[in-house]
Structures are given as structure tokens and as C-alpha cells.
Amino acid sequence: MEMNKEKLLEIIAKYLNGSASEAEKKAVDEWYESADAKTIGISSRLEEIRERSYNQILAETNPETPVISFYRKAGIRAAAAIVLIAGVALYFAYEFKTRSAISSETPAPVLVKNDVSAPSVNRATLKLSDGSEIEIDSIANGKLAVQGNVTIIKKPNGIIAYEGNGSQTSFNTLTVPRGSRPQRLELADGSVVWLNVASSVTYPVSFTDKERKVEITGEAYFEIAKDITRPFIVKKSNDLTDIKVLGTHFNVNAYDDEGLMRVTLLEGSVQVNGPGKTRVLVPGQQAQVKMETLSVTNSVDLDQVMAWKDGRFLFDGADINTIMRQIGKWYDVEVVFESENTEKLVANISRDVNVSELLEIFEKTDLIHFDIEGKKIIVKK
């Protein structure tokens, strides 16, 4: 039976607390029985995982919910052993835990020995056209600088904004380092940029040319102010690929260590100009550029793409290497693999937790283990 995550979340909750109807129980059973281990990313080691692991996950995430062992349900033992323990149970169980538990009223997690806390401040820096730099977090709200006829201000919510129109072109660079909160930027034309950790954007103080051009490294989400007379161009630094838009919402993941550039369209349309090829995207599509290859995929999980902007880690069968690259950037830690590891995991977790809590969730699968040594995370089987 085809079900989206929200529907599965609802039905599995009812299944576990005993309130599911016969039709809902059948739907869950059929879903587990038809689960494709390869698409979820399952290791053969899962067969060794015991029922106590599943019970422990449920007990810790929702201690008031009675545990109904899927292993005692005829016909779905094998699927449960593969799917639930592999990470689907983690997704649903921790979705319940973190969806409402992490809020402004929740006390900050206690940092234990050999732990790293999530970034609590914005460590972004703004480099002006004269070469001087401003540390955003250390500057009070209000006017930061004046460049020609353009005033740069820091708004009460921490947003950096440009107001005014200049006749001369000068460039600024906003950089968000590892271990920082993301930074929002409002350009002189009204376009808005959310800059992810370990990323930068270079842009004109005022757009005076026929095209509005910016360059990025890392990852950024754009909401472009519409101007049919001046297209907006986004380029990855030192790359031939560019993205041409008039007015639209899209995300660009251009980290060097990802091996390819991903352009995901949420609204409007964009034209991706790759090496020797051009593709126009419609909402929900993603362009992937690697070396001299440009391809487009329709099967994109937009929630997963935008999770960083929404303050969450969302992994839906991501391999551990991809996961640890994100963790390394967010917590500003070094990641060392003790041996080759190809595990794939599923989780939906707030980015505000300490790294030990995040890694503990992954360890519940019994597929992977971690040691934290200061600012180093060692990944072990």
C-alpha cells in the first residue's frame, strides 16, 4: 500500500498504542511485508539485531506507550527485523520525540564529557569592498556600514540587509563558517538568501548591470525578487555551471566535498546551464551537475533538501558518509572513519541537540558506533 510519511506516522502510532482499526493494521502489515530492503538501505547485519533493540527505542522515546512486539505478529517478522530496526522505527519514534520537545521553552541540553553542543550563535563575517571585515554576532543591531549610496544594516532578528541604490559596482562577501547558525541576507534588489554553514556568497552592493550576478560556495537557498529586465544569475565559484532565473525559490548545494552540485527548484522556474547542456526545471525537480554531466531527477524529497533551513537533520536512507559530512560542518568537528562503512540510516532530528544525543540515536540500530574525542568523532562498526 502506498503511504506518505505523515500517514505512516499516524497509523504506526495507532498500531503501537492498540487503537488502530483492522483496516489500518492490515495496511501497516502490508507495508512492512512489501518493504524493499535495498531502497531503505539495509545491511545483512540487521538479521543479528534482537527484539530488545526495538523495545528499547520505543521505551526511551515514548515510555508511556505499551510495546506491541512486531516479532510476534505472524507474517511480518522478517520485514520488521529489516525495516523497523534499520531506521524506520527511528524515524517515527524520534519524530514524535523531537517534533515538539525542542522549543524555546525547553532548557538547553546539558553538555557531558566528550560532547559537542550545537551552534548557539551566528559566527558569520561580512567582508566589505575595502577588505575590512565585520563579525555579525559581535555587532549591535542598526547601521553596520555605508558603501556609496547604500546602507548596510543589521535588523533586530539578525538579518543583514542592504538599503538604497548605488551607481558604482562594489562587492561584499558574506561567509558562514563551520559551527555557526545559518545567516539570512537581504540584497539591494529585495532578493533573500539563506546561507548554510560552511558557505559563502559574493554579491554586488547594488545591482547596476543588466544581469544580477552572485557567486556561492557551499549551500544557499534563494528567494529571488522578480525583475524581467534583469535576470538573476547564481554561479558556483570556480565552476562553469550557472543558474539563471527571473523570480523564483530554489536551493543550491554546491559543497566541494559532495562531488556534485544540486539545484532544487521549489517555486517558479530556473535554467541550469551546465557544461555543453542547458536544462529548464519545474517545481519539484532537481538538476545534478557532475564534471561534464548534467542530469535532472523528478524524485526529490523537498523536505529533506530544505531540512537545514528548517533546523533539522532529515535523513531518509542517506549513507553514513553523507550524514557525517553534515554533522562535521554543523558541529565543526573532524570525522574519522575507523573502517569502510556503507550503512544507510533514516532519522528526523532537531539540529539543536548535542552531538552525543544525535549519535546515540544512530547507535540504536546496532549497525554503527562512535567515539567522541574532543572535537573528533571516530566512526566504528
Residue 293 in grid coordinates: 554531466
Which one of 278, 303, 328 terminates a domain? 303
Query: Which pLDDT belongs to residue 68?
Result: 31
Q: Are residues 219 and 290 in the same domain?
A: yes
pLDDT tens-digit series, residues 248-302: 999 999 999 998 999 999 999 999 998 888 999 999 999 999 888 999 999 899 9
Report the domain count for the chain. Answer: 2
- Asked if residue 109 belongs to a domain, the reply is no
- Asked if residue 196 belongs to a domain, the reply is yes
Contact partners, residue 6, CB within 8 Å, separation at least 6: none
On the question of pLDDT at 223 being above 80, the answer is yes
Q: What is the crossing angle of helices 89-101 and 51-61, to 10°?
A: 10
Q: Name the band, by pLDDT with cuts 50, 70 and 90, for residue 69.
A: very low
On the question of pLDDT at 36 being above 60, the answer is no
Contact present, 348 and 314 (Cβ < 8 Å): yes
Q: Are residues 197 and 252 in the same domain?
A: yes
Q: What value does the mean pLDDT take over residues 15-28?
A: 71
Which one of 255, 281, 303 terminates a domain? 303
Q: What value does the mean pLDDT take over residues 87-94?
A: 43
User: Which of 46-55, 197-206, 333-342 bottoms out in mean pLDDT, i.e. has the lowest?
Assistant: 46-55
- How far apart CA 220 and CA 308 sit, in angstroms, is 10
- Asked if residue 8 belongs to a domain, the reply is yes
User: Which of 6-15, 236-245, 368-377 bottoms out in mean pLDDT, i.e. has the lowest?
Assistant: 6-15
Query: Which pLDDT belongs to residue 22?
Result: 81
Contact present, 89 and 70 (Cβ < 8 Å): no
pLDDT tens-digit series, residues 114-125: 799 999 999 999
Q: Are residues 150 and 274 in the same domain?
A: yes
Q: Which domain holds residue 274?
A: 126-303
DSSP assigned state of 114: T
**Nearest in space to 75 (alpha carbons), one of 114, 34, 111:** 34
Q: Are residues 251 and 273 in the same domain?
A: yes
pLDDT tens-digit series, residues 328-349: 999 999 999 998 888 888 888 9
In sequence order, which ranges of 222-366 are alpha helices (DSSP H)? 302-305, 320-331, 355-363
Q: Are residues 296 and 332 in the same domain?
A: no
Q: Are residues 27 and 165 in the same domain?
A: no
Looking at residue 237, its amino acid is S
- Asked if residue 110 belongs to a domain, the reply is no
Indicate the pTM of the whole model.
0.75
DSSP assigned state of 364: T
Contact partners, residue 66, CB within 8 Å, separation at least 6: 16, 17, 18
